[in-house]
């Protein structure tokens, strides 16, 4: 036997001739695509992801929220309508704007009288309301920023664009009510 060639066992020769397989690392969990409808992650039930192109990452969603452009912030800064307005227009919520009349329903200033929106501060995701103020240490009064989700719109400032939006939203809600419901004629046909 020459010195240049090391001795190889039959097992080593077999290893070289067979295709490579990854080493066994114990039982593996099924992939997300193999799971039927729900899976348990860390003790919590989570619904399977429907759209693989939309992220569920908390980090990415927070980044998008705080770096959102103004036209998207407008939509995020929507407020629910009061029960009377909801019945009148058949619309649940609207993006808030200056001169709307609102009532605070959450937080330190809740239950106070209705006030007019003085400013919509999109950069900070807050609105300033007429009588919601506090006094600073030097004696000056400043408006307190309140998130639009914590108020209820009691009167809308209407212009032609806003009326169009209300009509469009009401129309889509009306279509949604009939969707997926069996009508009497279809039930009769099914029973025949």
Give 10-residue mean pLDDT values along the chain (192 residues).
Answer: 67 78 68 50 70 94 97 96 95 95 94 90 96 95 96 95 94 78 72 74
121 three-state secondary structure: strand
Q: What is the pTM (predicted TM-score) of this model?
A: 0.68
Q: What is the pLDDT of residue 102?
A: 96
pLDDT at 39: 54
Instruction: Please tell me the predicted confidence (pLDDT) of residue 175.
Output: 81
Q: Give the per-residue pLDDT at 168.
A: 94
Backbone angles phi, psi at 162, to 5 degrees: -70, -35
Domains, the chain, with CATH or none: 79-168 (2.30.30.30)
């Amino acid at each position: 036997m020459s010195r240049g060639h090391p001795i190889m066992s039959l097992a080593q020769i077999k290893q070289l001739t067979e295709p490579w397989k990854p080493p066994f690392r114990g039982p593996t969990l099924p992939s997300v695509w193999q799971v039927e409808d729900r899976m348990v992650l860390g003790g919590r039930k989570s619904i399977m992801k429907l759209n693989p192109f939309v992220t569920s990452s908390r980090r990415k969603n927070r980044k998008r929220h705080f770096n959102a452009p103004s036209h998207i912030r407008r939509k995020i800064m929507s407020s629910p309508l009061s029960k009377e307005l909801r019945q009148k227009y058949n619309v649940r919520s609207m993006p808030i704007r200056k001169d709307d009349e609102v009532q605070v329903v959450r937080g330190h200033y809740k239950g106070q009288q209705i006030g007019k929106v003085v400013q919509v501060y999109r950069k900070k995701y807050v609105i300033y309301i007429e009588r919601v103020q506090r006094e600073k240490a030097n004696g000056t009064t400043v408006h307190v920023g309140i998130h639009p989700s914590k108020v209820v719109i009691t009167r809308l400032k209407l212009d032609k664009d806003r009326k169009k939006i209300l009509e469009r939203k009401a129309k889509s809600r009306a279509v949604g009510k009939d969707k997926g419901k069996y009508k009497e004629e279809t039930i009769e046909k099914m029973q025949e």
